[in-house]
């Protein structure tokens, strides 16, 4: 028995009951009533204290001394063996002379209730393109617009901002280098997606990276007009299989990183303030933030045209922040 902290008698309460009877001269009936238990329970704890001392006031296990109908280890091994042969639970119960409930309980403890648990784990296939620009992952994320700090921080639910619309955050990340580009558009329509694609291609070209392939999901913004823009730019458009976001996993992961380290990292008072913080986050991500998949190096370390500049600024220390700020202003 494990008593909870609000139980009528915890070990401390039992000791108090015994103390009142033995040292204060209270009757067992009165001490039990004060503790909120029956007189019979009071006599039980008093008898245990006299027989075992303070150790007798502790919780005891409610497990029975004997379990004649319990399954022995050999029978449990038989359960597991037959289950791994994909035999249904009801057949195992019939063959072993046990109830279905007993077999099902032990299968749950072994983690073999479902046949899918017997399937070998699907290996995780990771891939990485050999050079920057060979594949660019693109995705979008909608964020509600902001007018003032929300109730989750202020605790004030009297003011609500309904119907102020959404911002569409368009994100791109290079498969090889993880160098990223982001922009906020008014929507996720084909026109906005095409505009973002052209901006991203031009931005990567400024670093000497030519985009060869683009991977997107099957959103409506990535259909005919987007494909025509890809053909115009000499880019092959790859679309993921339906309901398999892991195919575009690098973009999906960058979305989560952006939400955690930019969109939800602080309390913004307006959408404009949040939008102004996007480019500094992207610059920090590309130039300073260590990436676990890149041996703890920032993504720009994999861009040949930028690698020497990155090394120079790392040695210079704070000068990198100045460079990024000037580069952002010039762009």
- pLDDT, one tens digit per residue, over 200-247 is 999 999 888 899 999 999 888 899 999 999 999 999 999 998 888 888
Q: Which pLDDT tens digit goes with each residue over 246-262? A: 888 899 999 999 999 99
Shared-domain flag, residues 300 and 202:
yes
CA atoms within 13 A on the CB side of 46: 20
Asked whether residue 66 is domain-assigned, the answer is no
Residue 249, exposed/middle/buried by CB under 10 A (0-12, 13-18, 19+)? middle
The strand pairing partners of 239, in sequence order, are 216
Asked whether residue 131 is domain-assigned, the answer is no
Domain count along the chain: 3
Stated pTM of the model = 0.61
More confident residue, 170 or 293: 170
* Helix 28-35, helix 11-22: angle, nearest 10: 150
Asked whether residue 198 is domain-assigned, the answer is yes
Q: Looking at the predicted structure, is the pLDDT value of residue 154 above 60?
A: yes
More confident residue, 104 or 324: 104
Residue 308 confidence (pLDDT): 60
| Distance, CA of 43 to CA of 46 (rounded, Å) | 5
Shared-domain flag, residues 88 and 187:
no
Shared-domain flag, residues 253 and 104:
no
Shared-domain flag, residues 35 and 89:
no
In percent, how much of the chain has pLDDT > 70? 90
Q: Which pLDDT tens digit goes with each residue over 54-90? A: 888 888 888 888 887 888 899 999 999 999 999 999 9
| Distance, CA of 74 to CA of 103 (rounded, Å) | 14
Structure tokens at 123: 């290996």
Asked whether residue 47 is domain-assigned, the answer is yes
Contacts of 236 (CB under 8 A, 6+ apart): 212, 213, 214, 230
- Tell me the pLDDT band of 148, cut-offs 50, 70 and 90: confident
Pure H helices in 147-237? 151-154, 190-205, 224-233
Structure tokens at 69: 């109908």
Which residue range(s) make up the domain with 326? Answer: 136-330
């Amino acid at each position: 028995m494990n008593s909870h902290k609000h139980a009528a008698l915890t070990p401390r309460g039992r000791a108090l009951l015994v103390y009142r009877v033995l040292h204060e001269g209270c009757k067992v009936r009165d001490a039990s009533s004060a503790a909120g238990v029956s007189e019979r329970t009071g006599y039980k704890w008093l008898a245990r204290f006299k027989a075992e001392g303070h150790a007798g006031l502790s919780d005891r296990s409610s497990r029975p001394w004997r379990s004649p109908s319990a399954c022995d280890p050999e029978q449990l091994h038989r359960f597991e063996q037959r289950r791994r042969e994909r035999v249904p639970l009801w057949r195992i119960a019939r063959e072993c002379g046990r109830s279905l409930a007993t077999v099902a309980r032990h299968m749950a403890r072994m983690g073999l209730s479902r046949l899918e648990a017997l399937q070998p784990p699907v290996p995780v296939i990771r891939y990485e393109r050999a050079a920057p620009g060979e594949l660019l992952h693109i995705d979008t994320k909608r964020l509600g617009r902001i007018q003032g700090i929300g109730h989750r921080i202020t605790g004030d639910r009297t003011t609500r901002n309904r119907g102020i619309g959404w911002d569409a955050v368009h994100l791109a990340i290079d498969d090889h280098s993880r160098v990223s580009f982001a922009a906020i558009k008014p929507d996720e329509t084909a026109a906005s997606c095409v505009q973002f694609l052209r901006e991203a291609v031009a931005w990567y070209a400024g670093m000497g990276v030519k985009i060869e392939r683009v991977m997107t999901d099957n959103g409506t913004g990535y259909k005919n007009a987007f494909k025509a823009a890809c053909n115009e730019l000499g880019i092959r458009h790859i679309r993921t299989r339906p309901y398999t976001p892991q195919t575009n996993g690098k973009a999906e992961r960058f979305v989560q990183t952006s939400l955690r380290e930019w969109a939800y990292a602080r309390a913004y008072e307006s959408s404009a303030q949040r939008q102004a913080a996007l480019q500094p986050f992207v610059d920090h991500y590309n130039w300073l933030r260590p990436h676990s998949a890149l041996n703890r190096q920032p993504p720009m370390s994999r861009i040949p045209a930028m690698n020497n500049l990155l090394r120079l600024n790392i040695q210079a220390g704070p000068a990198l922040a100045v460079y990024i700020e000037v580069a952002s202003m010039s762009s």
